[in-house]
Amino acid sequence: MVRRGCQQNFVWFCRAGRPVKKRELEVGTRFTLKASREDLGEGLMAYILGIETSCDETSAAIVADGTRVLADVVASQIELHQRYGGVVPELASRQHLENLPVVVEAALQESGIRLGDVGAVAVTYGPGLIGALLVGVSFAKAVALARQVPLVAVHHTVAHAYGCWLEYGGLPLPAVCLIVSGGHTSLLYWQSHEHLRILGTTRDDAAGEAFDKVARLLGLPYPGGAALERLARQGDPAAIRFPRAWLEPASLDFSFSGIKTSVSNYLKAHPDASRADVAASFQAAVVDVLVGKTIMAARQEQVRSIVLAGGVAANSHLRQRLAAAAGESAFAFFAPRPEFCTDNAAMVASAGFYRLQRGQVAGLNLEASSCPVLEI
């Protein structure tokens, strides 16, 4: 039973090979997930129900064979958090509770798959907001228990890499993946489905967080990344030399809190500065470091491909600069379309499919973790 009146009643539906369409979600009153145990047959493991609730997107997807997206439904909470200028964790958890059954039902309807046809449930268990993760993990456990199907725990950063895998139906591995979003900035080494490891991560703010905070300093609404990019198009990226945090010479870690302070100090000292120049100079500094460290990682690991994912991957300056730098060094470059860049459950289901193939099934004692160690 789902209460009427979700604040966010628009969801994105997308299916592989079809244009994305926006549709009003009808919040119904019947949400009993009906399917009998007898419906579960051999050979149906290929349909994975993916669940994602790590931050401010509630998402459910049905993916077949790890790459065919039958449904990917995302309810974004941006409007809810906008008035606070950032994601409020407690509100996010409550909204996931309301949205998740609706979104799962919508994914089943969109895919034409009955819950009884689902062979496994894959869920993001971390990293992310602990209360938000808990909603998805608890829901996934309940479905797995009720349907007697395997539960698969998926690391969110790894899931982002599979967003790209989904888009292209496979990639030349090994690859280095730059995952940049409001909550994460990570470099991931992806050798095979059996071997993934984190090469570097942010020591403080995520790249998207830095975009959002600087956008706020410039008077732009939350989330400000896209608005800042638009403003930056009218500015001179060489106007102000903001610091690039390269850290120790061989470090593949990132740090973005210093540049945020630097922009804040600059604006206090130069109240009449061109906002477009500040935006363009800030963006150039962040992109320099992201591109420089990704190329360093790709050379060090001698990979074949570079993958870009996460919400900040929508930034066209970053996409162009990284694509060009990858080309100069003869790495293939892949960046999925925006809906597979931002948080979605299709990428979780895809990552879950390959974990399941290796028999990596979680117990019903699976715990959500805000900062889990990557175990592959």
16 binds ligand ADP (CB under 6 A): no
Tokens (6 digits) for 353: 């499919």
110 binds Mg ion (CB under 5 A): no
Q: Using alpha carbons, select from 155, 140, 146, 157 the residue that is nearest to residue 355.
A: 155
Instruction: Show the site string, 222-251: x = touches ligand ADP by CB under 6 A, - = not.
Output: -xxxx--x----------------------
Query: Do the Cβ atoms of 374 and 158 come closer than 8 Å?
Result: yes
Query: Do the Cβ atoms of 122 and 361 come closer than 8 Å?
Result: no
Beta bridge partners of 180: 185
Instruction: Show the site string, 101-140: x = touches ligand ADP by CB under 6 A, - = not.
Output: ----------------------------------------
- Which of Mg ion, ligand ADP, none lies near 119, with the C-beta cut-off 5 to 8 A by kind? none
What is the chain's percent helix, strand, coil content, to nearest 5? 40, 20, 40
Q: Using alpha carbons, select from 376, 362, 370, 347 the residue that is nearest to residue 143.
A: 362
Number of residues binding to ligand ADP, judged by CB under 6 A = 21
CA distance 279 to 230: 9
CA distance 53 to 156: 10
Instruction: Show the site string, 288-317: x = touches ligand ADP by CB under 6 A, - = not.
Output: ----------------------xxx-xx--
99 binds ligand ADP (CB under 6 A): no
Integer CA distances (angstroms), 254 to 186, 259, 292, 316, in order? 8, 11, 11, 20
- Which of Mg ion, ligand ADP, none lies near 223, with the C-beta cut-off 5 to 8 A by kind? ligand ADP
CA distance 292 to 234: 24
52 binds ligand ADP (CB under 6 A): no
171 binds Mg ion (CB under 5 A): no
205 binds Mg ion (CB under 5 A): no
- Which of ligand ADP, Mg ion, none lies near 336, with the C-beta cut-off 5 to 8 A by kind? none
Q: 178, exposed or middle or buried, with CB in 10 Å at 0-12, 13-18, 19+?
A: buried
Among 58, 343, 362, 368, the residue binding Mg ion under the rule CB under 5 A is 343
What's the min distance (Å) between Cβ of 74 and ligand ADP?
A: 10
What's the min distance (Å) between Cβ of 150 and ligand ADP?
A: 27
| Residues contacting residue 84 through CB under 8 Å, at least 6 positions apart | 91, 222
Q: Could you say which residues in the range 51-80 bind Mg ion, by CB under 5 A?
A: 55-57
Q: Could you say which residues in the range 174-203 bind ligand ADP, by CB under 6 A?
A: 181-184
212 binds Mg ion (CB under 5 A): no
Place of tokens 């990557």: 374
- Which of Mg ion, ligand ADP, none lies near 277, with the C-beta cut-off 5 to 8 A by kind? none
Dihedral sign of CA atoms 103, 108, 114, 117 in order: negative
Assign 70 to helix, strand or coil.
Answer: strand
Dihedral sign of CA atoms 283, 288, 291, 297 in order: negative
Dihedral sign of CA atoms 140, 5, 72, 32 in order: positive
Instruction: Show the site string, 149-168: x = touches ligand ADP by CB under 6 A, - = not.
Output: --------------------
80 binds ligand ADP (CB under 6 A): no
Segment interacting with Mg ion (CB under 5 A) among 191-199, 266-274, 339-347, 367-375: 339-347
Tokens (6 digits) for 83: 């008035």
343 binds ligand ADP (CB under 6 A): yes
Binding site for Mg ion (CB under 5 A): 55-57, 343
Binding site for ligand ADP (CB under 6 A): 55-56, 181-184, 208, 211-212, 223-226, 229, 310-312, 314-315, 342-343
